[in-house]
Amino acid sequence: MAHPAQLGFQDAASPIMEELMYFHDHTLMIVFLISSLVLYIISLMLTTELTHTSTMDAQEVETVWTILPAVILILIALPSLRILYMMDEITTPSLTLKTMGHQWYWSYEYTDYESLCFDSYMTPPLELDPGELRLLEVNNRVVLPTEMSIRMLISSEDVLHSWTVPSLGVKTDAIPGRLNQATLMTSRPGIYYGQCSEICGANHSFMPIVLELVPLKHFEEWLLSTL
């Protein structure tokens, strides 16, 4: 959950999000080093007399400033491709959850169980209980087990939507007529919030997502009480 004046990412709750945060820090450090080097060179050029002008035509300098950027790009590309393939990897899921985007709410269906489906609308501000978050709370939360591979099937009934939960590192477009797939696996229980991240109309800002991740035992108890 984000807090006011937060500058970084939300705390990671899944292995994929942890990898994304590591990659962000890795890339940011490279950008910081490049920016520092460029600033240092510019300051030298402005404050130092250029007594060795022949250096600018040296083959060694041209070789260095050609090879060095290529090496830096490789250092960024290799971890990026690794995470990309990790995000696309589909393991054998323990549970499948289908979500459909509507204007302006989400509907969910647990495809492994008969007749377990519901709509999830934003809770109006006047109906919030103490401690609930404005514009982020819903009338029906999605309950899922922790430490299990969950397959998300995401689509839309009308216009483009985007099913996004930052703490889990998931952002998948909901496209009419197309079924997109994503994989979830959380490492700890908790309540995780997200929102539609694709401008989908007048009430785009009022399509929150709330996932309640619980241990398997509590998930089974919730199933028994729901079915």
Write out the two tokens for 147: 């430490």
pLDDT (tens digit, 9 = 90+) per residue, 48-81? Answer: 776 666 666 677 778 888 899 999 999 999 999 9
Q: Which CATH number is 55's domain given?
A: 1.10.287.90
Q: Residue 222, preceding bond cis, omega within 30 degrees? A: no
One domain for residues 54 and 152: no
Q: Is 141 left (phi over 0), alpha (psi -120 to 50) or beta?
A: beta
One domain for residues 122 and 76: no
One domain for residues 102 and 53: no
Please give the tally of structural domains in the chain. 2
Q: Which CATH number is 173's domain given?
A: 2.60.40.420
pLDDT at residue number 56: 60
Q: Is the pLDDT of residue 190 over 70?
A: yes
Which residues form the domain of 190?
Answer: 95-226
> For a pLDDT cut of 90, what percent of the chain falls above it?
58
pLDDT at residue number 59: 77
- Has residue 6 been placed in a domain? no
One domain for residues 117 and 134: yes
- Has residue 8 been placed in a domain? no
Comparing 46 with 40, the larger pLDDT belongs to 40
Question: 148: exposed, middle or buried (C-beta count within 10 Å: 0-12, 13-18, 19+)?
Answer: middle
One domain for residues 115 and 220: yes
One domain for residues 119 and 216: yes
- Has residue 159 been placed in a domain? yes
The whole-model pTM stands at 0.83
pLDDT (tens digit, 9 = 90+) per residue, 85-124? Answer: 888 877 788 899 999 999 989 999 999 888 889 999 999 9
Residue 23 pLDDT class (50, 70, 90 cuts): very high
Q: Is the pLDDT of residue 191 over 70?
A: yes
Longest dimension (CA), the chain: 83
Average pLDDT, stretch 183-203? 90
One domain for residues 146 and 79: no
- Has residue 5 been placed in a domain? no
